[in-house]
């Protein structure tokens, strides 16, 4: 990514015969493919005695669910990298991969490779404080990609790329807190613009009506469905017991959202 960015601003790019943009995308594709294979396949096969036992069924309660792979953030990033191979080059499209690579490398060096090194100990607080900001910056770059794809669609490219990326981005809102935060930052900006007293009341009311379903679709905090289901089962059991004894059961106020 750095080499591609330098080629955009430099009058004499380094090794101009090399497609740095394409190399960056292929690096991302290989990286996330290896991550998926390592964590979702080899992690299970490591405890299996033979491949036939793995493919023949579940052993010791361990299995790889296709739905788990499809919902993973790594799989979404892999699909995005493949998608960018068919669209026009843009720095915003590969900027998030550069941020994720930087965070992964610094995490590996400071935590795994040299955990007791003085330099690692000194850099660890900096990494801890800068990581949320870098992730939020990457999430903002992912929002700017919508503008790039909209412009490409206007110039004659297939609109399929725009809608497919919208689909992938929507999936990422379920697992990425930074993605949800960036989205709500954009909504807050529109609040500042459209809820101003200078705006006509009709515009303010229209924006409020449009914003409510957005907050419902993409909440800032994602509800823990397993906890919600557990609460529902508890209430069902309590209601059943109350019906038998003629009592009324009221749900206690509990917060089951993931912080």
pLDDT digits (tens, 9 = 90+) for 58-94: 444 456 677 888 888 999 999 999 999 999 998 899 9
Q: Which residue has the higher pLDDT, 240 or 183?
A: 183
φ, ψ dihedrals at 77, nearest 5°: -65, -35
Q: How far apart are the first and last CA of the chain?
A: 33
Dump pLDDT digits (tens) for 38-68: 877 766 665 554 444 444 444 444 566 778 8
Q: Which pLDDT score, from 0 to 100, does residue 246 have?
A: 46
Q: What percent of the chain has pLDDT over 90?
A: 32
In this predicted structure, what is the pLDDT of residue 228? 44
Output the pTM of the full model.
0.72
SS3 content of the chain, % helix, strand, coil (to 5): 70, 0, 25
pLDDT at 10: 58
Q: Kindly state the DSSP code that residue 109 receives in the 8-state scheme.
A: I
Domain ranges for the chain, please list them: 2-175, 177-219, 223-259
Q: Is the pLDDT of residue 239 over 70?
A: no
Selected residue with higher pLDDT from 169 and 125: 169
Percent of the chain surpassing pLDDT 70: 69
Q: How far apart are CA 188 and CA 211, in angstroms?
A: 10
- pLDDT tier, 37 (very low <50, low <70, confident <90, very high otherwise): confident
Looking at residues 19-34, what average pLDDT do you find?
A: 89
Question: Which of the residue ranges 26-30, 243-247, 255-259 would you say has the lowest mean pLDDT?
Answer: 255-259
Compute the distance between CA of residue 154 and CA of residue 174 in angstroms, rounded to an integer. Answer: 29
Residues 92 and 69: beta-carbon distance below 8 Å:
no
Torsion on CA atoms 245, 247, 248, 251, rounded to nearest 10: -70
Predicted local distance difference test score (pLDDT) of residue 30: 94
Q: Are 123 and 103 in contact (CB under 8 A)?
A: no
Residue 14 DSSP symbol = S
User: What is the pLDDT averaged over residues 146-165?
Assistant: 93
Query: What is the Cα–Cα distance from 191 to 208, expressed in whole angstroms?
Result: 9
Mean of the per-residue pLDDT values of the chain: 77
Say yes or no to pLDDT of 245 above 50. no
**Which DSSP state fits 218?**
S
CB-based contacts of 190-196 (< 8 A; 24+ apart in sequence): none
What does the block give as tokens for 88?
A: 């026009």
Closest CA to 28 of 112, 85, 89, 108: 85
Helix, coil or strand: residue 223: strand
| Under 8 Å between Cβ of 76 and 171 | yes
Checking if the pLDDT of 257 tops 70, the result is no
- CA dihedral over 104, 136, 32, 45, signed as positive or negative: positive
């Amino acid at each position: 990514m750095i080499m591609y960015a330098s080629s955009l601003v430099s009058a004499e790019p380094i090794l101009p015969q090399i497609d740095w943009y394409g190399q960056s995308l292929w690096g991302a594709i290989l990286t996330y493919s290896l991550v998926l294979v390592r964590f979702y396949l080899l992690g299970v096969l490591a405890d299996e005695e033979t491949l036939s036992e793995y493919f023949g069924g579940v052993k010791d309660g361990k299995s790889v669910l296709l739905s788990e792979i499809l919902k993973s953030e790594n799989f979404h990033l892999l699909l995005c990298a493949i998608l960018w191979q068919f669209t026009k080059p843009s720095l915003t499209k590969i900027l998030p991969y550069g941020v994720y690579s930087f965070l992964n490398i610094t995490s590996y060096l400071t935590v795994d490779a040299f955990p007791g090194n003085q330099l690692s100990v000194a850099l660890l607080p900096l990494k801890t404080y800068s990581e949320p900001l870098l992730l939020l910056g990457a999430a903002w770059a992912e929002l700017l990609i919508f503008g790039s794809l909209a412009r490409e669609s206007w110039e004659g490219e297939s609109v399929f790329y725009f809608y497919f990326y919208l689909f992938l981005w929507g999936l990422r809102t379920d697992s990425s807190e930074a993605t949800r935060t960036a989205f709500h930052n954009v909504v807050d900006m529109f609040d500042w613009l459209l809820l101003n007293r200078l705006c006509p009341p009709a515009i303010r009311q229209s924006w409020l009506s449009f914003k409510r379903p957005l907050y419902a679709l993409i909440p800032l905090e994602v509800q823990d469905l397993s906890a919600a289901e557990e609460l529902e089962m508890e209430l069902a059991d309590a209601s059943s017991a109350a019906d038998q004894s003629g009592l009324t059961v009221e749900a206690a106020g509990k917060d089951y959202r993931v912080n």
